Chains A and B, each alone.
Chain A
């Protein structure tokens, strides 16, 4: 009824669709960075699409299964082996008690989702099992997984061979266009600055985590005498800092912020950001409003 982590990977956390209703206390929603990929992994093993699973970033995981169970991997594509033999991730993977599941080379994307049929047995906190590392809250002991951790499965089951449809596999364009709306502080920037900010390319820096992505672009002229009054901040907000650079709020972002927001990414586009790699260009497309 359990799995034992041999290698946890760089950043592996338990996530579900997020923790809502506590933002007034300053609790960020957390949750899947790439929701459609997580839903696909859950769907492949007949879980509900918001079931808690493992989100893996940049590197995979190696674990030993102590019961027969079925797992599915979606989002970033990895080479995967079971007991040293390569297996395809295009379908559900069936494990027997004692099998060692290992994710090896990352092929495409950044974040992968590993769903277990029946789900992980994790205590929910405020109706969610999502890990919020900055507050050491939720998930598995409020932290990323470590070697030797033991995760229990709710009811390990093996399933028929659900497949991953080819058209649902992660696409990784080299140039990203993300739909957005104008931010609440848009009108504090000059017309020329706005034109520049909406037309230019932004490059994802190495400084990108579940809280926020620092982007690098042409310097944006910061509004003069800006009052810095904080207000409610949603994931996807592009905040301009006084040095003229930008920070894109992500799922673990703070609930309020004071930096002026020049635009806010549409919520159904957030998942695309989760699979962008550093140094890739991002353009924001704001529909006429």
Chain B
């Protein structure tokens, strides 16, 4: 499917191996890019290929992409489990009161549901180090904010739809912030591996108090 005149988005149908397939294909395009390809953007259900020139109606490119999609093989990898401390306190989570009101829920119930799940990193994106995690407890389904916030703090843990997201750096954003982690997940001073979380890794959240948050933050 065209995504503007210089990019293509390939949508994948839901299968058990969809995410692994998208990341295998992404890795392959990164190692062996097609001519004029400038970026590859994997997402939860799609892969976007960005080119430096107009590719609209270019059948050679469409056929080339199709051949690569059909030929890709999935490699098995060991999964890594990360435990991320999160403070669910309204001082650090501006949208927490609104989310609790929308779900008619007490904060204890929200914390219990949000920390009970083992999530999978489905993609990185949006901005450097923003991690998308699937799937939330089904009771924690909220819409994005109608008007995005102009500033969301670094470390914010937010929910939207059936996903949780972690803002590794301060940025604008439209997800409902319910907590914050004191950890720094994205570090430019490690150019080889700036991001701690990778697609397909697993994540669990551990609830911490405001005092614990402040103490971990001061040691960081």
Contacts and interface: CB of A to CB of B under 8 A. Distances in A.
Interface of A: 20-29, 125-126, 134-137, 181-184, 211, 227-234, 236-237, 241-243, 247, 254-259, 261, 264-268
B132 to A, nearest CB: 7
Contacts of B125: 23-24, 26, 230, 232, 254-256
B171 interface: yes
B123 A23 contact: no
Contacts of B45: 229, 231
B38 interface: yes
Nearest to B40: A24
Interface stretch (B80-88, B106-114, B142-150): B142-150
Interface of A is mostly: loop
Given A23-B40, A264-B4, A267-B5, A232 B48 contact: yes
Contacts of A264: 3-5, 7
B149 to A, nearest CB: 12
Contact of B128 (A137, A228, A267): A137
A199 to B, nearest CB: 20
B9 A184 contact: yes
Given A232-B47, A241-B148, A21 B7 contact: no
Interface in B1-34: 1-7, 9, 11, 26, 30
Given A134-B171, A232-B46, A234-B50, A28 B5 contact: no
B127 A29 contact: no
Which 7 pairs of residues, A with B, have the shortest CB-CB distance?
A: A232-B48, A232-B41, A264-B4, A256-B125, A23-B39, A20-B38, A254-B126
A162 to B, nearest CB: 27
B160 interface: yes
Nearest to B173: A254
Contact of A27 (B4, B47, B128): B128
B128 A135 contact: yes
B69 interface: no
Contacts of A242: 143-144, 146
Q: How large is the interface on B (under 10, 10 to 19, 20 to 34, 35 or more residues)?
A: 35 or more
Interface of B: 1-7, 9, 11, 26, 30, 38-48, 50, 52, 54, 56, 123-130, 132, 143-144, 146-148, 160-161, 169-172, 174, 188, 191, 194-195
A20 B39 contact: yes
A230 B146 contact: no
B4 A236 contact: yes
Contacts, number: 153
A243 B146 contact: yes
A255 B126 contact: yes
A186 B139 CA distance: 30
> Which of B127, B144, B160 has the most chain A CB atoms inside 10 A of its CB?
B127
Contacts of A25: 124, 128-129, 194-195
B127 A134 contact: yes
A232 B38 CA distance: 13
A229 B129 CA distance: 18
A137 B194 CA distance: 12
B39 A241 contact: no
Given A135-B127, A211-B172, A232-B9, A184 B3 contact: yes
12 contacts: A25-B129, A26-B129, A181-B4, A184-B1, A184-B9, A229-B43, A231-B11, A232-B46, A232-B50, A242-B143, A264-B7, A265-B4
Contact of B42 (A20, A24, A247, A266): A24
Contact of A267 (B54, B124, B195): B54
Contacts of A23: 39-41, 50, 125
A230 B146 CA distance: 16
Contact of A231 (B4, B46, B170): B46
A45 B44 CA distance: 46
Contacts of A135: 127-128, 169, 188
